[in-house]
Amino acid sequence: MKVALNGATTMNADLETDIRAASSAGFDYLEIWASKLRAFLKSRSTSDLSHLFVTHGLSPYSINSIERITFRDDTSHRALLDECEELCRIAQAIRCPYVVVVPSPAPKDVLRSDVISESAGVLQELASIAAQHSVALAFEFLGQPDCSVQTLALADEIVKEVSHPNVGLVIDSFHFYAGGSTIESIEALDAEKLFIFHINDAEDLPREQLEDRHRLLPGLGILPLKQIIQALKGIGYNRVASVEIFRPEYWQRNPLQLARDAHAAVLKALEV
């Protein structure tokens, strides 16, 4: 697999620093954090951004992310369509293949069938926008208890329901574990529909207590990374493993050194 740095890992750094840090550390790709992208484009252009990537021998892999895409009211849904258009247009301009999209919390007493129909319907709509810009959407389930899509199996069912060539999946090892997804659900995947693997580790806490701030560099926690990676390799997944960590303690570190530590950790984790 190729390796990427996700801009969440270095949250306090700006986009240009992320590019420099990822390149210096030896990463192949950068997943761009959307708020950093917007801050960069306030004073510079997409051409400037593309030039930075080329200069540093790095490629953009995704824009992270469009949040809470489901169960919106009409006004919020129209804003969602505008945001999708905005980010897909930018992604096309900088030759970034993916935009990550994330489901909303579950409304009270919502049925599983409602989650599937709502999620598939919204993804179909967003996919039509993305396709106009030759961009694909990577749907990321969240293992937190309030999310409407908590497991890989449910996310995969939704993506199959959409049945659109530019809609696929994200597996995040933290969410995979926290939400109780199974290795068997990886083994059942079509590798062509898995667009991104977010790799990270977590502190030794009960699943229901895990929060994003408990994430760690790969190899420093208790997640079953070896089994996950073996299952991914078993289905022929060979795209990108991207280090995504939301740990405030890490955000205080020098981003260049953090990127180097992240690169060493992901390479070691992939040696299974």
User: What is the third-level CATH fold of 2-269?
Assistant: TIM Barrel (3.20.20)
**Could you tell me if 96 and 61 are in contact, meaning their C-beta atoms sit under 8 angstroms apart?**
yes
**Residues 171, 91, 129: CA angle, nearest 5 degrees:** 85
The residues of the chain scoring below 50 in pLDDT are none
Task: Provide the residue type at 139 as one letter.
Answer: F
Helix (H) or strand (E) holding 249: helix 248-251
Q: Exposed, middle or buried: residue 75 (CB in 10 Å: 0-12, 13-18, 19+)?
A: exposed
Instruction: Give pLDDT, residue 150.
Output: 98
Could you read off the pLDDT of 96-132 as tens digits, one per residue? 999 999 999 999 999 999 999 999 999 999 999 999 9
Instruction: Give pLDDT, residue 272.
Output: 76
Task: State how far the alpha carbon of 223 is from the alpha carbons of 65, 114, 118, 226, 241, in Å.
Answer: 24, 31, 31, 9, 15
Instruction: Give pLDDT, residue 22.
Output: 98
Instruction: Give pLDDT, residue 166.
Output: 97
Could you read off the pLDDT of 4-38 as tens digits, one per residue? 999 999 999 999 999 999 999 999 999 999 999 99
> How is residue 37 written in tokens?
């992208």
Would you kindly state where each structural domain of the chain is located, as residue ranges? 2-269
**Could you tell me if 128 and 85 are in contact, meaning their C-beta atoms sit under 8 angstroms apart?**
no
